[in-house]
Structure 1
Amino acid sequence: MRVSCLAFAGLLATVSLSTSLSGQRPDDQIDARSMQLLTEGRAAKAAGNLDGATDLLETAVAVDPRNRGAFVALAEVADARDLPGKAIRLYREALLLEPNDRAALAGQGTALVHKGALTQARANLMKLKTLCKGQCPEATTLAAAIQKGPPITTAQVDPKPGVSKE
């Protein structure tokens, strides 16, 4: 009796394990709905509809969190909105999925330059140069952004000091 219970439990565990493994998709197979949303989001971004693009791209990531292209496109939208901190985080998400993504490395490096993190941007440039093994546009663009440096920001000054706005 004991042996048959143990054998049945082992059989049940084996069937459960094999069923769960066969139901998973490989990492390189992205959900088609997510890819369609990515295409629509890129089109909305190209048309200048940043709010619509953000909505579509966030939905693409929700449908399939392994959609690296959606993370990169979301980061580009954040760059367009002058949100380098958010862009850095989104590029990092893309790089967690594929550490050698040249577009994500270059984009993150440019966003780092905008935040003033030149040392980290140079590290991205070095990684890009090792990946390219020659000339590549991503490394050239990032090198130019590093050379230019972070944007100069000034405090907003009241045009008429001493005059109250009441």
Structure 2
Amino acid sequence: MRYYPAAIALSMLAAVTASVGQARDVEPADPRVNTLLASGEAQLSAGEKNAAIGSFESALALDPGHVATFVALGNAERSNGMPGKAIHYYREALSRDPNNVSAISGEGEALADKGALDRAKGNLARLEGLCGKTCDASKALAATIARGPMPRVVSAESVKPEPKVESN
């Protein structure tokens, strides 16, 4: 009985400490981040992929923990044909917010682009558990998986022409 108040105090301390550790900063600390994100999205929709990546990286420099910036960078790298880099950024976003629907969907689409369809299907199952089969992210990921991997780029070194000797 005499340990009862101390046990309650310790359990309250543990609960408060755990909830503070799980708190997420939804809005960036610096308002310039939103401006850079909007600018990057406009550049990306205009087809200026490298300029958009530059804007997103500037936003990341201002607020290194903002999840939306990592998702935007992943989207830009994926549209730039770099699914490996995109997966890196999506995983950074998921390490900060494990249930971020955009990051799960983006990572699944990048995995499908690389040909890792089984892992992309795992992301689809996780996504369907979070938002259902009818949400836009689930539909987009299912369509990307159905489409299959992106065609591989062939390098000039891998294609060797047959030598042909002709007489004049």
Whether TM-score is above 0.5 comes out as: yes
In the TM superposition, residue 67 of structure 1 has moved relative to its aligned partner by 1.8
- Which sits farther off after the overlay, 53-62 or 149-158? 149-158
Residue 129 of structure 2 is matched in structure 1 by 130
Paired letter, 1:162: P
Residue 17 of structure 1 is matched in structure 2 by none
Question: 2:66 aligned with 1:67, yes or no?
Answer: yes
Could you list the per-position Cα deviations for residues 54-102 of structure 1 after superposition, in whole angstroms to 9, with x for gaps in the alignment? 1111010110012222111111111111101000001111112211111
Residue 76 of structure 1 is matched in structure 2 by 75
Q: Cα RMSD (Å) of the superposition?
A: 2.0
Residue 147 of structure 1 is matched in structure 2 by 146
| Pair 1:117–1:63, CA change in 2 (3 A) | same
CA distance in 2, matches of 1:108, 1:99: 12
Q: What's the secondary structure of 1:61's corresponding residue?
A: helix
Paired letter, 1:77: A
The TM-score, its normalising length taken from structure 1, stands at 0.74
Which structure 2 residues correspond to residues 85-124 of structure 1 after superposition, within 5 A? 85-124=84-123
| Pair 1:42–1:155, CA change in 2 (3 A) | closer
Paired letter, 2:94: L
Q: What's the secondary structure of 2:34's corresponding residue?
A: helix
Residue 27 of structure 1 is matched in structure 2 by 25
CA distance in 2, matches of 1:145, 1:47: 23
Identity %: 39
CA distance in 2, matches of 1:109, 1:137: 14
- Which sits farther off after the overlay, 149-158 or 88-97? 149-158
Q: What's the secondary structure of 1:51's corresponding residue?
A: helix
Give 5+ residue unaligned stretches, structure 2: 1-23
CA distance in 1, matches of 2:112, 2:65: 27
Paired letter, 1:144: A
CA distance in 2, matches of 1:28, 1:108: 20
Residue 39 of structure 1 is matched in structure 2 by 38
Q: What's the secondary structure of 1:66's corresponding residue?
A: coil
| Pair 1:65–1:163, CA change in 2 (3 A) | farther
- Which sits farther off after the overlay, 26-35 or 56-65? 26-35
CA distance in 2, matches of 1:111, 1:102: 14
In the TM superposition, residue 106 of structure 1 has moved relative to its aligned partner by 0.9
The TM-score, its normalising length taken from structure 2, stands at 0.74
Give 5+ residue unaligned stretches, structure 1: 1-25
- Which of 1 and 2 has greater Rg? 1
Paired letter, 2:98: P
Paired letter, 1:111: A
Q: What's the secondary structure of 1:27's corresponding residue?
A: coil
